[in-house]
Amino acid sequence: MKYTEEHEWLRVEDDLVVVGITEYAATQLGDVVFVELPEEGLEVVKDDEVVVIESVKAASDILAPLDGEIVEVNTALTDNPGLVNEDPTGAAWFFKMKLEDMSAMDDLLDEAAYKALIE
């Protein structure tokens, strides 16, 4: 698993990467009540705002972690946004991407670096 400074996790699954937010981010957000997902097939550039997530406290954006194409979104979150709090690193993945360049993953944080970031 790799991480961004924006508190996203990325997990490689065959030739795709699955993206979600970390447990730390989910706790900081509080109870999530709304998730707006991008359309499948959307081409994104790193730092594009791709997901809107609203908690009982505030709205936040999830940014594209790297360049690529959104190939699948987790529609379960639309009906059950609370999944983000229940299982942020499992069932509450947001989208799957086909990266422009798989080697860009190497520049992301590893688990130790991410842990250091949030401590």
Give the largest Cα separation in the chain, rounded: 37
In contact, 54 and 33? CB cutoff 8 Å: yes
d(CA 47, CA 113): 20
CB 94 within 8 A of CB 88: no
Rg (CA), the chain: 13
The span of 3-11, 31-39, 66-74, 91-99 binding other proteins (CB under 8 A) equals 31-39
Size of the site for other proteins (CB under 8 A): 12
User: 31 or 43: whose CB is closer to other proteins?
Assistant: 31
Nearer to other proteins, 82 or 90 (CB): 82
* Site for other proteins, residues 34 to 93, rule: CB under 8 A: 34, 36, 52, 54, 56-57, 59, 78, 81
Residues that bind other proteins (CB under 8 A): 30-31, 33-34, 36, 52, 54, 56-57, 59, 78, 81
